[in-house]
Amino acid sequence: MVEQLLTGVVALQVAKQHPGGCLLVRGALSAGDKASRARKQVTDCLTMAEGAIRKRLERARAEGDLPRHANPADLARFVMAILDGIAVAGATGARRKQLKSIADVALRAWPN
């Protein structure tokens, strides 16, 4: 599941019809002070995405696809950080090979 997610984000970042980066990540970085309405909306979207990943990882652990010792909440935050990092790298012009390398390193860190 995570491999597919990372592969999909890499493909999206290098797609000709898609500008590099991520609107949510860019919005979170530039939305102004922490109390602004725009920043709250962006943060809420990112929090919902992290929650969806966490729920899916909880299911993976329950089904035996993730080790029992794995912490789905920690892993969801890790996945979001990698996705955000890929988006930032994509926005700054990183090529497919570089973005794939980021994803590959993250997958090597994934619990077996």
The Cα–Cα gap between 13 and 25 comes to 13
User: Tell me, what's the pLDDT at 24?
Assistant: 62
Give the global pTM.
0.85
Task: Report the domain count for the chain.
Answer: 1
**Residues near 47 by beta carbon (within 8 Å), at least 6 away in sequence:** none
User: Tell me, what's the pLDDT at 39?
Assistant: 75
User: Tell me, what's the pLDDT at 27?
Assistant: 62
User: Tell me, what's the pLDDT at 96?
Assistant: 94
User: Tell me, what's the pLDDT at 105?
Assistant: 97
Task: Read off the CATH number of the domain in which 32 is found.
Answer: 1.10.357.10
Give me the helix-helix angle, 23-30 and 72-91, nearest 10°. 90
Q: Residue 100 belongs to what domain range?
A: 2-108
The residue ranges of the chain whose pLDDT is under 50 are: none
Scanning 31-71, the segments in alpha helix (DSSP H) are 37-62
**Residues near 76 by beta carbon (within 8 Å), at least 6 away in sequence:** 50, 51, 53, 54, 57
